[in-house]
Amino acid sequence: MKTTDLQTPALLVDADAFEHNLATMAKALPGPRLRPHVKAHKCTALARRQAAVGHRTFTCATIREMEGMAAAGLGEDLLLANEVLDMSRLGRLAARVTVAVDSEATIDAVVEGGVREVVIDVNVGLPRCGCMPDDAGRLADYARAKRLAVRGVMGYEGHVVGLDDRAARERLCEESMQLLLAAHAQVGGELVSAGGTGTYDCNRWATEIQAGSYALMDTAYGKLGLPFRRALSVLATVISVSPAYAVADCGLKSLGMDHGNPAMDDAQVWFCSDEHTTFAASGGVRVGDRVRVWPSHVDPTVAYHERMHVVRGDEVVETWAVDLRGW
Amino acid sequence: MKTTDLQTPALLVDADAFEHNLATMAKALPGPRLRPHVKAHKCTALARRQAAVGHRTFTCATIREMEGMAAAGLGEDLLLANEVLDMSRLGRLAARVTVAVDSEATIDAVVEGGVREVVIDVNVGLPRCGCMPDDAGRLADYARAKRLAVRGVMGYEGHVVGLDDRAARERLCEESMQLLLAAHAQVGGELVSAGGTGTYDCNRWATEIQAGSYALMDTAYGKLGLPFRRALSVLATVISVSPAYAVADCGLKSLGMDHGNPAMDDAQVWFCSDEHTTFAASGGVRVGDRVRVWPSHVDPTVAYHERMHVVRGDEVVETWAVDLRGW
């Protein structure tokens, strides 16, 4: 099948860029040094490729992702790097399940749901989940008193991973990880889980990195000068052409917009509507032309699509279900 | 079932607000004066309620929406208010299908796909699809020469519908509609299709209004002082509480973000991550509390969800599939 046979909008994965990204990461962080985050692609077929290059431990953000990974036979070591209160579905999984906890309430939920292993989630500077570092030891004691296995700590430096300035990224990453190591000293366990695509090569303190975006990339991470290539695009059809601009048939329902407008080659994106992207092309463009639109944020983009097509040039070599959507 | 039994995040429709919205619109624009836009809810169960109050003509934005509406028995008069080049799926539908065209190429596609009826899409000020008003007559002639039935014109004043200032909204709506009426004078036909929720009561020139958001509403339209109530929220669970803020388990993958952050009652939203909303609550909030998050833009929010739950207070009275997603 050719890309010209695809109904648009369609999510495309450039096979060469994707394979380059996986190989680059596997070399930098081999085996369990990377715990790929599946939230960035929500696709067990893609996760299987990550496993094939040596990454068989995975990070998830939702119960559905955990269930799907277990059902796909990728449940060797799954970390739900998020707090959950209704743990009943997780307790039933045929997989090794570890869950992040940051309070007595979330530890109680783990016990009640029949999950046995946790990491203490520590706030390392991002105002989101995670206990204060000083609280981590107390929570670990509480969890162990409830007969849970505490595997270590996690702390996501999400306020750092997207910083353009590499020196700032390195400095703030170190500051964050000092907080996490201090917590780890109180908690113990083999895991210090942290990091993302933006800090995968400067976070030297974590035992494992939770990067996900590196596999497909987006224009936001593309600005950081990382060795990963943009692999994810939305294929769209030009449906209307005016003297000053043209319109492609992808929009707010096929693109995550929290990082702003997508990008296009040789064209300036003006704005997106539900099913349209209005753009000014520098060259001539005609109704019926196919264009590639580059998302600014991979995660919420993928979550809009039922499938992604792996392409080599204009050849569709494989189609993967985005099978981990929903909750 | 109670809302407390729902896994979060979950999309909720407040039954009273929804019924108020439908009744208010049905009174203002009875029967075919409104052609509800299904892109705002992507739900045939909801469309069936619109039909029950007298609106049996519908507007769609995608082929999938057209197919789903036809399959649901709601295909009495479906307008695809968008340009499409591959019309083959539409030509097969057991429904009355009318498609917007704005160029020879899109007219040729209609003919090739076996669709018989069109409206000429006219640019009335929004830089998106639509021919220049002066071109509409020529395109209508071209379509009729190809033996298509030209039912009239459409022109969406999308640059006007969201303006806060009602006087500006009225003035610019009139300017837009003068362009559309000039085109209609060249084109003929019974339809002058235009408008949205923001201009439903000031667009006196269109024969039918394509509003969709009125049924569920969002915080953006909520600022305009319209008589519609907010009916759509995302139910979320508080999963983490810190002294200065708390975190709920809905985020970028359950909320359309192009209109900015969602809103919460008695709380200030700080930011959204993939599966989190960090907020500062003015009162006390505890882990496990349920909160309602109000989307800023209904359309791309609904498109993330598999279903919506209709609620009266805390009682779930019905669950509707969001069955028109995808393309």
- Per-residue model confidence as pLDDT tens for chain A (327 residues): 999 999 999 999 999 999 999 999 999 999 999 999 999 999 999 999 999 999 999 999 999 999 999 999 999 999 999 999 988 899 999 999 999 999 999 999 999 999 999 999 999 999 999 999 999 999 999 999 999 999 999 999 999 999 999 999 999 999 999 999 999 999 999 999 999 999 999 999 999 999 999 999 999 999 999 999 999 999 999 999 999 999 999 999 999 999 999 999 999 999 999 999 999 988 889 999 999 999 999 999 999 999 999 999 999 999 999 999 999
Mean pLDDT taken over chain B: 97
Q: Which two tokens stand for residue B172?
A: 């610019």
Using a pLDDT cut of 70, give the percent of chain B over it.
Answer: 100
Place of tokens 């039994």: B5
| Per-residue DSSP letter, B131 | B
Of A7, A247, A303, the CB nearest to B304: A303
- State the smallest CA–CA distance between residue A15 and chain B in angstroms: 23
pLDDT digits (tens, 9 = 90+) for B1-48: 999 999 999 999 999 999 999 999 999 999 999 999 999 999 999 999
Q: Quick one: pLDDT band at residue B283, thresholds 50, 70, 90?
A: confident
- State the smallest CA–CA distance between residue B201 and chain A in angstroms: 23
Contact A136, A171 (CB under 8 A): no
- State the smallest CA–CA distance between residue B37 and chain A in angstroms: 12
Averaged pLDDT, B249-256: 98
- Judging contacts by C-beta atoms under 8 Å, the chain A residues touching residue B244 are 127
- Judging contacts by C-beta atoms under 8 Å, the chain B residues touching residue A157 are none
Q: Please give the Cα distance from A100 to A107 (Å, whole number).
A: 9
- Judging contacts by C-beta atoms under 8 Å, the chain B residues touching residue A158 are 273
Angle of the B44-52 helix axis to the B63-71 helix axis, nearest 10: 60
- State the smallest CA–CA distance between residue A97 and chain B in angstroms: 19
Say whether pLDDT at B282 is over 90.
no
Residue type, A8: T
Q: Is B198 on the interface with A (CB under 8 A)?
A: no
Which of B3, B4, B5, B7 to mutate against chain A (most A CBs within 10 Å)? B7
- Scan residues 264-323 of A and list those with Cβ closer than 8 Å to B: 270, 272-276, 278, 286-288, 297, 299-300, 303-306
Q: Provide CATH code, domain A15-216.
A: 3.20.20.10
- Decide if A240 and B130 are in contact by the 8 Å CB cutoff: yes
Give the pairing of strands A10-14 and A307-312: parallel
- Decide if A240 and B288 are in contact by the 8 Å CB cutoff: no
Q: Is A37 on the interface with B (CB under 8 A)?
A: no
| Fold of the domain spanning B16-212 | TIM Barrel (3.20.20)
Q: SS3 letters for B163-212?
A: CCCHHHHHHHHHHHHHHHHHHHHHHCCCEEEECCHHHCCCCCCCCEECCC
- State the smallest CA–CA distance between residue A93 and chain B in angstroms: 17
Closest residue of chain A to B129, computed from CA coordinates: A240
Which of A65, A122, A134, A253 to mutate against chain B (most B CBs within 10 Å)? A253
Which of A38, A65, A88, A129 to mutate against chain B (most B CBs within 10 Å)? A129
For residue A308, count other CB atoms closer than 10 A to its CB: 25
- Decide if A288 and B82 are in contact by the 8 Å CB cutoff: no
Q: Which two tokens stand for residue A66?
A: 């955990």
Q: Please give the Cα distance from B56 to B39 (Å, whole number).
A: 15
* Torsion angle of the four alpha carbons B181, B187, B188, B189, in this order, in degrees rounded to the nearest 10: -100
Count Cα atoms within 13 angstroms, Cβ side, for B219: 19
Angle of the B136-145 helix axis to the B104-113 helix axis, nearest 10: 30
pLDDT digits (tens, 9 = 90+) for B71-103: 999 999 999 999 999 888 999 999 999 999 999
- Decide if B300 and A274 are in contact by the 8 Å CB cutoff: yes
- Judging contacts by C-beta atoms under 8 Å, the chain B residues touching residue A287 are 83, 85, 103, 105-106
- State the smallest CA–CA distance between residue A109 and chain B in angstroms: 10
Q: Is B256 on the interface with A (CB under 8 A)?
A: yes
pLDDT for position A283? 82
- Judging contacts by C-beta atoms under 8 Å, the chain A residues touching residue B305 are 326
- Decide if B247 and A278 are in contact by the 8 Å CB cutoff: no
Contact A317, A310 (CB under 8 A): yes
Closest residue of chain B to A10, computed from CA coordinates: B327
Q: What are the strands of the beta sheet with A117-121, ordered from one edge?
A: A58-60, A78-80, A97-101, A117-121, A149-155, A191-194, A208-209
A3-11+228-321 CATH, one of 2.60.120.260, 2.40.37.20, 2.60.40.10, 1.10.10.60: 2.40.37.20
Of B82, B249, B278, the CB nearest to A275: B82
For residue B315, count other CB atoms closer than 10 A to its CB: 11
Q: What are the strands of the beta sheet with B77-80, ordered from one edge?
A: B57-60, B77-80, B97-101, B117-121, B149-155, B191-194, B208-209
Q: Which of A72, A23, A41 is nearest to A308 (CA)?
A: A41
Q: Which residues touch A267 (CB under 8 Å, ≥6 apart)?
A: A279, A280, A281, A282, A285, A291
Q: Is B247 on the interface with A (CB under 8 A)?
A: yes
Closest residue of chain B to A298, computed from CA coordinates: B274
Contact B219, B263 (CB under 8 A): yes
Sorted by where each begins, the domain ranges of chain A are 3-11+228-321, 15-216
Q: Which two tokens stand for residue A247?
A: 């319109």
Residue type, A132: M
Q: Please give the Cα distance from B238 to B254 (Å, whole number).
A: 15
**Above 0.85 for ipTM, yes or no?**
yes
User: pTM above 0.90?
Assistant: yes
For residue B195, count other CB atoms closer than 10 A to its CB: 32
Q: Is A63 on the interface with B (CB under 8 A)?
A: yes
Of B62, B103, B241, the CB nearest to A275: B62
pLDDT for position A319? 98
Contact A124, A157 (CB under 8 A): yes
Beta bridge partners, B237, equal: B290
Beta bridge partners, B319, equal: B309
- Judging contacts by C-beta atoms under 8 Å, the chain B residues touching residue A276 are 82, 128-129
- State the smallest CA–CA distance between residue A23 and chain B in angstroms: 26
Distance of CA B226 to the CA centre of its chain: 16
- Decide if A86 and B7 are in contact by the 8 Å CB cutoff: yes
pLDDT for position A284? 87
- Decide if A83 and B240 are in contact by the 8 Å CB cutoff: yes
- Decide if B276 and A103 are in contact by the 8 Å CB cutoff: no
Contact A128, B271 (CB under 8 A): no
A181, containing H or E segment: helix A166-187
Residue type, B44: T
Q: Which residues touch A112 (CB under 8 Å, ≥6 apart)?
A: A87
Of B86, B132, B273, the CB nearest to A158: B273
Q: Quick one: pLDDT band at residue B241, thresholds 50, 70, 90?
A: very high
